[in-house]
Amino acid sequence: MDAPTTTSSAGNDGGGNSGDWGWFTPSRKQPDDQPRSPESDGAADDRSADRPVNPIRPAGTEAERRPAPPAPAPAPPIPPASAVPPASPFAPASAVPPASAVPPASAVPPEAGREEHQRPDEAPTPQGARPAAESVFTAPETASPDAILLRRTMAEIEPVSDKVTSYFYALLFVQHPELRPLFPAAMDAQRDRLFKAILTAARLIDDPDILGDFLSRLGRGHRKYGTRPEHYPAVGECLLAALTRYATNTWSDEAEAAWVRAYTAISQIMIDAAAEDELRAPAWWQAEVVGHEPRTADIAVVTVRPDQPYPFLAGQYTSVETPWWPRVWRHYSFASAPRADGLLSFHVKAVPAGWVSSALVHRARPGDVIRLGPPAGSMTVDHSTDNGLLCLGGGTGIAPIKALVEDVAEHGRQRPVEVFYGARSDHDLYDIDTMLRLAQRHPWLSVRPVVSDGPTSGLSGRLPDAVRQYGPWNAFDAYLSGPPGMIRSGVDALMGVGVPSHRIRHDSIEELMAAAE
Ligand SMILES: NC(=O)C1=CN([C@@H]2O[C@H](COP(=O)(O)OP(=O)(O)OC[C@H]3O[C@@H](n4cnc5c(N)ncnc54)[C@H](O)[C@@H]3O)[C@@H](O)[C@H]2O)C=CC1
């Protein structure tokens, strides 16, 4: 479902034509030093002939932009960061407003994460993106002039990214309080997710295919937060203001122009993807809990009935919001292939301080209603080949592997499927009975439990090591699902035994990251 269908940005010619910026018009150094006051919000403020225009002309969808709209009303200025007096709400990060004024949230609400195993040190990794061997902020030799400028800015702000992020959100919510209700009450650990997403997108600016895919998913995923096209310019203004303030050595008219072009392109792709998605799918589904089966002290299988048909593919995941933590969304994979009765199941492990996971395991009961975002992910079975499937499922990562097995069974083609199911202890193999039953029913399926930290009657050790002992795997497509560390070492192991990278599938590491709460 994730094929990106984006349109090119109006005015985003990338050529540095300063007279034609599309809807997102660049700001320049402000001629005065005055912070914006509520009274100065009116457009009249901006009408002096030499007053540069700030980038807050509302964007529309691609359809709304056709035919070209009349010239926009000038927008109110953002104070240059250096002009912000200490008493102003746009105080430096060190003097950032009290907690109530600094929502600990990402600006456009962040894409959800899994709660388990957050790796806050990691930047989002769009699916298919090549990991950079060098620093992510080092421009490759082939980089475009804009990409070089963007990366210079990012390299400069990286050491102070916390401050930039704080300033960005403070500014956003003080200047645009109407956006605050889109965010959870508290999302400290997720605070930098939007910022990271923007920086990731900026880093990919020379890679339109990967960028388009990444941003289209992001745009569609933001529908459930209530994000509207008119919110994007607000984010863009605050992004530029934060960069202006903290990238003092590398900031220039050229850098600003490059950021404006980049942000214009980024937001337009997201807006267009969301608009297109709106024509064919709801922003979210409501789903009633109809089953809640504890499997261990901290793992439950939760089954829900969506309020309308929910199309998805085995191997995909969705985002889940509980009634107890509004606007806090977490990813869970579907634990079954699509069922005739329309029910959906998730395997949830309550992690320490995991708000959503704890609520789903310890609090949810039949009759409760949760919300689901759209399906996502490309860890799906390629039915155009007869290759075998080599599946590594670690912990609750076995959930989508079970769905893949069911999918193969339903398609009726006898392909060998080899499942390695890893856990810390025998006790943690909470779904082994189900998997072994499937193996009894289907002669093409074999299931091997692998226990890493305790005595077992199955295989001992870590999943990647166990897989190396079997094979050969050259006629197999590989599917990995589990903790990020397992995915990384599993990919290394598989490539080490000759499985080419294009035949290895897993959810992106970013999507496996949790939000520690
Ligand atoms: N609930 C769901 O729908 C899904 C969950 N996941 C992810 O699966 C993970 C499950 O967590 P737990 O059940 O606590 O798993 P866990 O931490 O108990 O580990 C499961 C298995 O992975 C192995 N493992 C862990 N780290 C490893 C490393 N660095 N190298 C090699 N092997 C390693 C362990 O030895 C064990 O066999 C979470 O990160 C979750 O985000 C992934 C897909 C779906």
Q: Does the pLDDT of residue 40 top 90, yes or no?
A: no
How confident is residue 190, by pLDDT bands cut at 50, 70 and 90? low
How confident is residue 249, by pLDDT bands cut at 50, 70 and 90? very high
Q: Does the pLDDT of residue 176 top 90, yes or no?
A: yes
Cβ neighbours for 308, distance < 8 A, ≥ 6 positions apart: 282, 285
The two counts, helices (H) then strands (E), for the chain are: 12, 12
Cβ neighbours for 15, distance < 8 A, ≥ 6 positions apart: none
pLDDT for position 183? 79
**Which atom of ligand 1 is nearest to 422's Cα?**
37
Q: Check: CATH 3.40.50.80 for 388-512?
A: yes
CATH 2.40.30.10 positions along the chain are 285-372
CA distances from 310 to 2, 334, 335 (A): 15, 11, 14
Give the whole-angstrom CA distance, residue 361 versus residue 262.
42
Q: Does the pLDDT of residue 77 top 50, yes or no?
A: no
Q: Does the pLDDT of residue 421 top 80, yes or no?
A: yes
What integer is the mean pLDDT of 358-380? 96
CATH 3.40.50.80 positions along the chain are 388-512
Cβ neighbours for 493, distance < 8 A, ≥ 6 positions apart: 464, 465, 467, 468
Residue-averaged pLDDT of the chain: 76
Least confident of 4-8, 22-26, 203-207, 448-452: 4-8
Q: Which CATH class is domain 285-372?
A: mainly beta
Q: Quick check: pTM over 0.80?
A: no
**Which atom of ligand 1 is nearest to 428's Cα?**
18
What is the best residue among 119, 317, 486 to mutate for testing ligand 1's pocket, by most ligand atoms within 8 Å of CB? Answer: 486
Give the whole-angstrom CA distance, residue 411 versus residue 413.
6
Under CATH, domain 51-110+135-278 is a member of which superfamily?
A: Globins (1.10.490.10)
CA nearest neighbour of 408 among 430, 441, 450: 441
CATH 1.10.490.10 positions along the chain are 51-110+135-278
Q: Give yes or no for a cis peptide into 86 (omega within 30° of 0).
A: no
How confident is residue 143, by pLDDT bands cut at 50, 70 and 90? confident
- Ligand 1 pocket, CB under 6 A: 114, 116-117, 332-333, 346-347, 349, 394-397, 399-400, 422-424, 428, 452, 462-464, 481-483, 485-486, 489, 512
Name the percent of the chain lying above pLDDT 70. 70
How confident is residue 267, by pLDDT bands cut at 50, 70 and 90? very high
Beta strands in 307-456 (DSSP E): 317-321, 329-333, 344-349, 369-372, 388-394, 417-423, 445-451
Name the percent of the chain lying above pLDDT 90. 57
- Token pair for residue 2? 């994730």
Residue with the bigger pLDDT between 407 and 185: it is 407
Distance 485 CA to ligand 1 centre (A): 8
DSSP per-residue string spanning 298-347: SEEEEEEEESS-----TT-EEEEE-TTSTT-EEEEE-SSS--TT--EEEE
pLDDT for position 441? 96
Q: 27 phi and psi, to 5 degrees?
A: -95, 160
* Helical residues (DSSP H) of 176-287, grouped into ranges: 193-203, 208-221, 231-246, 253-278
Least confident of 20-34, 161-175, 200-214, 437-451: 20-34
